[in-house]
A and B are shown apart, each in its own frame.
Chain A
């Protein structure tokens, strides 16, 4: 009898690994859903400014992907997520959240309506067991396809110019959250005008066998447009500037929380616009309707904080002297190089944190070994910190 080889014991390599490794000079990697993923390839600041100034390329292959097909695919998704998927036509992409019966967010993600009745769901976490359980009674097929699709984010002001140069015919017609199917060297490539940076940008989805060829063509086309491969550190700065949520930062997946009260509802995450109570039935509807009537416990806030010291892991207070007690805490914080603002995302107890309110953030920072503490005034803002006109430009310009 032959011995079965063990499952792969180390970190997986994405189909773009060979190209990333060529560009990598610092050797700083972390584990992302079993894959090696670069924190930084040469310099986090340079990489960040590629996002805001030219074109940044990020390997998002490890993102969890599911294919959902079958006659009931739409009904199924409508039951699964809180928003109305009937409004998401073929060729459109929808940001969505899905909840457990208590109306607590299991995860957020993007749903790509690839073709009539054929969807791709992308999320940070893995949910096959949940997706299968939710499929009971629906004629749908759910396939895990993370490894079967190679994916790149191509983001930044010159990203359209780069992709246009590659000859994707009709790319200029893609509006934000549109997707299209194009030809790449005889294979099909799907391109969506989506991203995690809040800037003009696209995401490219292709058969892993074509991954290296795509990378090479992309970098050849981008050479004169400042194209740069980037790691997660740079992406994370742009993610916070765009005000996007991250699992395990702004919320914990409800099906993985142990302590009661540590999960969040979509209403508590500022996502009430994603909850469509006009739909007769979806997971968590009853609990969310009750929460809407009785009020939420938490509120997600975007904060513009005075000074320049990032408010990592800080408590949030309702008064400058902290005497009224803490009202919440920071979940993500960064100095925004493009806004020149000290920004953060946090969670506060209701009724605190209405847009325009002032709160105070307790910041600890270290200077030459010694620690200092500062109570910094912060203003609650309701718009993303960074939302340039080029992001929504129709058609996008050759910046």
Chain B
């Protein structure tokens, strides 16, 4: 039997990133994927006629440009086009638009509140300061604060240095920011409910917390710290859908000599004497390698594919308690044409933007209350985009693909599995919500794909369908991610590594966990590093 240098389990964007950097270092790498397609949650799926759905992740910003460049993803088909703005439809028939042009955005805000319009620049600067602090650590391994290894001490000193450099007042602000709720944070700047509401969504997306829950201010950063072409905070569409991200990384991996095998789900990691020796596939095949890297989330890796007796008790318990709760679903729709939104004036640029249908902080919080009760939000927070307005490749001319990210949506309905009627009702609820603002919307629907957290788990494999592979709360960030003492991509099993979004710096289609894991593995193997350093921005 052939022995590889390394096996990567899971061909999502992080698995492929690790695989590509290992292959570039000259290792003989195989990447195995349980589905008959690659991409994991960064995928474009042809589910209806000539429509391609970004049916999990749907926009691109956090993908580290260093990785884009190092893997020459442009040569493998990736093209990210920026888009801007957002609109919040209001129950009174009005709308609040956030425009790409700063002066127009200012005017729209000043229409509602001069105070808020002027406060926005300070809010932006303060939030950007937090982004800058954290961005610098995305492409580096989180230091272990209990270790006395020189590299950990050096990295800790770097973080400490950056922290001290902020000055006394801003150090206080930073500590507050990391622990406060997004609602409290926004209230420090803004007085207008709809403006706060429009900004608050970024604090809860992918998180089983409400806008008033401590720790949600930090989640904002995961939506602000990305960039398109150096414009920090910008978002873009991957041409061809999010599958273009994974496909291009797979292209780089294969160009470096890597081998991809689909329909090859892993049943067990084979562990002998505390060391991994390979994987046993669901079809009974075995693949041998001294290095195995799991791109699956930490729960699936250690609870589903491993003999419990091979793991330290405390580690096992910590993994069991890792917070990776299902809180969001997707409704993906093929449209026969572009829907009209009655509130929007003809020709409004806001049709190209993110659309939201909740206009008050009260409704945002109430949406969370339903989730706590074990049902989907009757009045959900929807982050809706129509990428085909930008991308001519995802649907036939004049036709459109609409992506609706829906929060909140529980993993189980009142503790039991979803029924198909409930899934349909969840989808219908989203459609009804949008139809309130678009009279011709329902008539344009050609096909709908409804995905509950349960569906996402079943198909993609992410536990509870949590988009970040585990929540982005302080207890699960940096050196605590995923498990204290195991935040440097290694596991208690020799040769077994983690590279998915359960690891630092978390999810959002950054590819940073995958790259950081590759750097650690190459260092253990004493191979030259192929992973790029952060560009930095000073």
A382, CB-defined interface residue at 8 Å: no
For A34, give its contact among B93, B106, B124, B189 (CB under 8 Å). B106
Q: Can you list, as one digit per residue, whether each of B92-104 has a CB less than 8 Å from chain A (1) or not (0)?
A: 0111010101011
Find out whether the CB atom of A255 lies under 8 angstroms from the CB atom of B106.
Answer: no
Residues of B within 8 A of A34 (CB): 103, 106-107
CA distance A93 to B107 in the complex (A): 30
B65-73, B113-121, B365-373, B518-526: which one contacts chain A? Answer: B113-121
B166, CB-defined interface residue at 8 Å: yes
Find out whether the CB atom of B128 lies under 8 angstroms from the CB atom of A129.
Answer: no
A321, CB-defined interface residue at 8 Å: no
Q: A102-B169, A260-B170 are in contact. Are A255 and B121 (CB under 8 A)?
A: yes
Q: Which of A33, A127, A130, A258 has the largest number of chain B CB atoms within 10 A?
A: A258
A1-9, A188-196, A304-312: which one contacts chain B? Answer: A1-9
Find out whether the CB atom of A4 lies under 8 angstroms from the CB atom of B343.
Answer: yes
For B117, give its contact among A1, A9, A126, A260 (CB under 8 Å). A126
B167, CB-defined interface residue at 8 Å: yes
How many B residues touch the partner, as a band?
A: 35 or more
Residues of A within 8 A of B97 (CB): 6-7
Find out whether the CB atom of B167 lies under 8 angstroms from the CB atom of A129.
Answer: no
Q: A102-B167, A128-B117, A130-B118 are in contact. Are A1 and B342 (CB under 8 A)?
A: yes
A132, CB-defined interface residue at 8 Å: yes
CA distance A276 to B350 in the complex (A): 49
| A116 CB to nearest B CB, Å | 26
| A14 CB to nearest B CB, Å | 14
| B347 CB to nearest A CB, Å | 9
Q: A1-B342, A6-B97, A260-B170 are in contact. Are A129 and B107 (CB under 8 A)?
A: no
B415, CB-defined interface residue at 8 Å: no
Find out whether the CB atom of B118 lies under 8 angstroms from the CB atom of A126.
Answer: yes
For A7, give its contact among B108, B169, B189 (CB under 8 Å). B108
| A253 CB to nearest B CB, Å | 8
B344, CB-defined interface residue at 8 Å: yes
A89, CB-defined interface residue at 8 Å: no
A144, CB-defined interface residue at 8 Å: yes
B165, CB-defined interface residue at 8 Å: yes
A101, CB-defined interface residue at 8 Å: yes
A139, CB-defined interface residue at 8 Å: no
CA distance A101 to B342 in the complex (A): 47
CA distance A128 to B344 in the complex (A): 29
Q: Can you list, as one digit per residue, whether each of B290-317 has a CB less than 8 Å from chain A (1) or not (0)?
A: 0000000000000000000000000000
| B103 CB to nearest A CB, Å | 4
CA distance A144 to B111 in the complex (A): 12
B527, CB-defined interface residue at 8 Å: no
Find out whether the CB atom of B132 lies under 8 angstroms from the CB atom of A258.
Answer: yes
For B107, give its contact among A7, A132, A257 (CB under 8 Å). A7
Find out whether the CB atom of A129 lies under 8 angstroms from the CB atom of B118.
Answer: yes
For B114, give its contact among A3, A6, A128 (CB under 8 Å). A128
Q: Which of B104, B118, B169, B170 has the largest number of chain A CB atoms within 10 A?
A: B118
| B34 CB to nearest A CB, Å | 44
Find out whether the CB atom of A129 lies under 8 angstroms from the CB atom of B345.
Answer: no
Residues of B within 8 A of A3 (CB): 342-345
CA distance A130 to B111 in the complex (A): 18
CA distance A34 to B111 in the complex (A): 14
A172, CB-defined interface residue at 8 Å: no
Residues of B within 8 A of A126 (CB): 117-118, 121
Residues of B within 8 A of A1 (CB): 93, 342
Q: A6-B348, A8-B107, A101-B169 are in contact. Are A255 and B122 (CB under 8 A)?
A: yes
CA distance A257 to B122 in the complex (A): 8
| A209 CB to nearest B CB, Å | 22
In the complex formed, the residue of A with least CB distance to B94 is A4
B175, CB-defined interface residue at 8 Å: no
Q: A101-B169, A128-B117 are in contact. Are A4 and B122 (CB under 8 A)?
A: no
A368, CB-defined interface residue at 8 Å: no
CA distance A34 to B109 in the complex (A): 13
Residues of A within 8 A of B106 (CB): 34
Find out whether the CB atom of A256 lies under 8 angstroms from the CB atom of B169.
Answer: no
Q: A1-B342, A4-B94, A6-B348 are in contact. Are A260 and B166 (CB under 8 A)?
A: yes
Find out whether the CB atom of A144 lies under 8 angstroms from the CB atom of B128.
Answer: no
CA distance A258 to B129 in the complex (A): 5
Residues of A within 8 A of B104 (CB): 7-9
- Name A146-199 residues within 8 Å CB distance of B: none
Q: Can you list, as one digit per residue, whether each of B46-65 has a CB less than 8 Å from chain A (1) or not (0)?
A: 00000000000000000000
A45, CB-defined interface residue at 8 Å: no
Residues of B within 8 A of A6 (CB): 97, 108, 345, 348
Total number of A residues with any Cβ neighbor in B under 8 Å? 27
Q: Can you list, as one digit per residue, whether each of B172-203 has a CB less than 8 Å from chain A (1) or not (0)?
A: 00000000000000000100000000000000
Find out whether the CB atom of A129 lies under 8 angstroms from the CB atom of B115.
Answer: yes
A31, CB-defined interface residue at 8 Å: yes
For A257, give its contact among B111, B114, B125 (CB under 8 Å). B125
Find out whether the CB atom of A255 lies under 8 angstroms from the CB atom of B125.
Answer: yes
Q: Can you list, as one digit per residue, whether each of A223-266 has a CB less than 8 Å from chain B (1) or not (0)?
A: 00000000000000000000000000000000111111000000
For A132, give its contact among B99, B103, B115, B345 (CB under 8 Å). B115
Find out whether the CB atom of A128 lies under 8 angstroms from the CB atom of B118.
Answer: yes
In the complex formed, the residue of B with least CB distance to A7 is B107
| B318 CB to nearest A CB, Å | 36
Q: A3-B342, A132-B115 are in contact. Are A256 and B121 (CB under 8 A)?
A: yes
| A134 CB to nearest B CB, Å | 12
Find out whether the CB atom of B167 lies under 8 angstroms from the CB atom of A260.
Answer: yes
In the complex formed, the residue of B with least CB distance to A4 is B94
CA distance A127 to B106 in the complex (A): 13
| A144 CB to nearest B CB, Å | 5
Q: Can you list, as one digit per residue, whether each of A90-103 has a CB less than 8 Å from chain B (1) or not (0)?
A: 00000000000110
CA distance A352 to B99 in the complex (A): 45
In the complex formed, the residue of A with least CB distance to B347 is A6
| A257 CB to nearest B CB, Å | 6
Residues of B within 8 A of A256 (CB): 121-122, 124-125
Find out whether the CB atom of A129 lies under 8 angstroms from the CB atom of B116.
Answer: yes
Q: A128-B118, A258-B132 are in contact. Are A4 and B95 (CB under 8 A)?
A: yes
CA distance A255 to B343 in the complex (A): 35
CA distance A3 to B90 in the complex (A): 12
CA distance A219 to B103 in the complex (A): 32
CA distance A318 to B256 in the complex (A): 52
Q: A4-B94, A6-B348, A101-B169 are in contact. Are A258 and B125 (CB under 8 A)?
A: yes
Q: Which of B342, B345, B349 has the largest number of chain A CB atoms within 10 A?
A: B345
Residues of B within 8 A of A257 (CB): 125
| A68 CB to nearest B CB, Å | 14
Residues of B within 8 A of A102 (CB): 167, 169
Q: Can you list, as one digit per residue, whether each of A1-30 has a CB less than 8 Å from chain B (1) or not (0)?
A: 101111111010000000000000000000
In the complex formed, the residue of A with least CB distance to B119 is A129
Find out whether the CB atom of A127 lies under 8 angstroms from the CB atom of B118.
Answer: yes
Q: Could you list some 17 contacts between A and B, CB below 8 A?
A: A6-B97, A6-B345, A7-B104, A7-B111, A8-B104, A34-B103, A34-B107, A101-B169, A129-B119, A132-B115, A255-B125, A256-B124, A257-B125, A258-B128, A258-B129, A259-B538, A260-B165
- 10 closest residue pairs by CB, A with B: A129-B119, A128-B118, A34-B103, A7-B107, A129-B118, A255-B122, A1-B93, A126-B118, A128-B114, A7-B108
A1-B93, A259-B132 known; 6 new pairs, CB 8 Å cut-off, are A5-B345, A7-B111, A102-B169, A256-B121, A259-B538, A260-B170
